[in-house]
Amino acid sequence: MTNNSREESTPKRAQEPVNHMMKAMNDFFQQRPTKGFLESMDQLFISSPFNGSFPMELNENDKAYIVQAKLPGIKKEDIEIDVLPQHITISIKQSKTSLKNNKETYHQKDTLSRTIPFTKVINSRSVTAIHENGLLTVTIPKIKGKKIEIK
């Protein structure tokens, strides 16, 4: 029996799902994904409802690190920024008061925080922060070391 006789003995309907699957597999491995694997993982943790935190982004240019935190509905009075030699911590302290059946008052305090580590020491005196339209932007200038000429 040759290959042609096998194909003739197999009904065309039975071959269609297999051909469709093979085409789908070929298309899958030939196309490049729109996002890389690591980028997709980052997005998962940024937007995860289980992280008990707030979305934040760290960017860097030649002169400074720029941290942006999305904090819609948060007042600047509820934001605290601690600057230490090699990291900063952004904390949000919220307290809610609620009435139950117009009788009892309940107070609930929540604190969310994120810590950003840096590979080099930062100058705590030069750190600035701006809170506008629900976006906190913290600028951390880089310290430039002294370059030594090699003789």
User: How are the residues of the chain apportioned to helix, strand and coil, as percentages rounded to the nearest 5?
Assistant: 30, 40, 35
Predicted confidence band at 12 (pLDDT cuts at 50, 70, 90)? low
- With tokens 């919220």, the residue in question is 94
Side-chain half-sphere of 114: how many Cα atoms within 13 Å? 19
108 - beta bridge partners? 96
Stated pTM of the model:
0.57
pLDDT, residue 128, reads: 96
Q: How far is Cα of residue 134 from the mean position of the Cα atoms in its chain?
A: 17
Asked whether residue 67 carries a pLDDT value surpassing 60, the answer given is: yes
CA dihedral 60, 61, 62, 63 (to 10 degrees): -80
Both structure tokens of 43: 């997005």
Topology of domain 53-141, CATH: Immunoglobulin-like (2.60.40)
Asked whether residue 81 carries a pLDDT value surpassing 90, the answer given is: yes
- Over residues 86-130, the pLDDT tens digits come to 899 999 987 777 666 677 676 667 788 899 998 888 888 899 999
Asked whether residue 11 carries a pLDDT value surpassing 60, the answer given is: no
Per domain, the residue ranges of the chain are 53-141
Higher-confidence position of 101 and 75: 75
**What average pLDDT does this structure show over 72-77?**
89
